[in-house]
Every structure is written in C-alpha cells, then in structure tokens.
Amino acid sequence: MSEVELRAATQEDAGSLYNLLKTTMQQYVAQTWGWDERWQQEHFRESFEPNKERVVVLGGQDIGVISVEQKEDEVFLSKIYILPEYQGQGIGTHLIRSILDQAFDSGLPVALRVLRVNPAKRLYERLGFVDTGETETHYSMKAIPDRVEAAGVDCLSRKKSQRQRRTEFAQTGRPANNRCT
C-alpha cells in the first residue's frame, strides 16, 4: 500500500465530499430510509464542518474522508468513507488501527455507529469492535482496550513510541504504520 496521508478538509471540498457520501452511502441510506436527493444535499450543506473532517489522500488522489471526535470518555469515529475502488486494500483498516492505537494509549475506548445494512460492520468486528446497542436503523459499537488486546487484535507495530507516532501524525497528517507484524 502506498503512503496514506490525511489533510484538513476545506470548504472547497464540499462538492467532492458530498459526491463521496453519495457514492459510498447512497445504497445503504436508500435501503434504510430511501434516498431523497434534495434532502440529502440540504442536510449535507447544513451539517458540513470542514474543520472536523480529514480528507484521505493516496498517491496525491483524494480517496476518502474520516472524522473523529475526541470526547471526555471515548473517541468517536463519526465517519469513514473510502471510494469503492480503494476499498478492500487495507486503507480503512490502517486508518482505524491508527485511531485505536492512539485512543488505547490514552486508555480510551473507540465508539462508532453503523447502519444495520452496511457490510462495514464486519470490518469493525474484525478490528475488535463489539455491539453495545442497536436501534431500528443502526448498531452502536465499541472497541475497549483490554477487550481488544485480550482477543489478540492488538498486533500493532510498537517500533515507535505512542507519543512519537501521535506527534508524527499531528505534524504530517499521516497515520503511523500500524500493520500487524
């Protein structure tokens, strides 16, 4: 896998990030509630906050977006969308492992919500997330440090200290290499 980088989203990314949302999520939203194009565009415009999103870049090409919220008692992965042609290549796994590694170093769990019809749930389960609740439309999931490590999922590279990797991530926007060895 080439070097995956993250860059701050800007207001100029709004159009391409809406198209990314539509490309990656339309079928799941349509299965769950139906897809109303006008409503989706309006909702996106009203809720788009570029300062909370990072664009995923591979080989100079924007291929996705990720949004992570640091809360007092957990890290919340609110969004990760990767273009379909780049899915299945370990990019999402790489990004999520980086988030897990950083959160676990701080002793915090990582939480997320996923649409019930979205097959990404299997990825989250492989990475150690477990169901913590459900609604008619979503599963709530959480990865807790002790539980994930006990399950043998914590095979992240430890060649650099956690602090070094966080500093490098903050300075470069590139997640640390956290592949299993």
Q: Which domains does the chain have, with CATH numbers?
A: 4-172 (3.40.630.30)
Whether the pLDDT of residue 177 is over 80: the answer is no
What whole-number distance in Å separates Cα of residue 122 and Cα of residue 26? 19
* Percent of the chain scoring above 90 in pLDDT: 78
Backbone angles phi and psi of 106, in degrees to 5 = -90, 0
H or E element, residue 76: strand 75-82
What whole-number distance in Å separates Cα of residue 150 and Cα of residue 11? 42
pTM: 0.80
Looking at residue 161, its pLDDT comes to 46
Task: Give the model confidence (pLDDT) of 106-160 as tens digits.
Answer: 999 999 999 999 999 999 999 999 999 999 999 999 999 876 555 555 444 333 4
What whole-number distance in Å separates Cα of residue 117 and Cα of residue 106? 32
**What is the CA 29 to chain-centroid distance, rounded?**
18
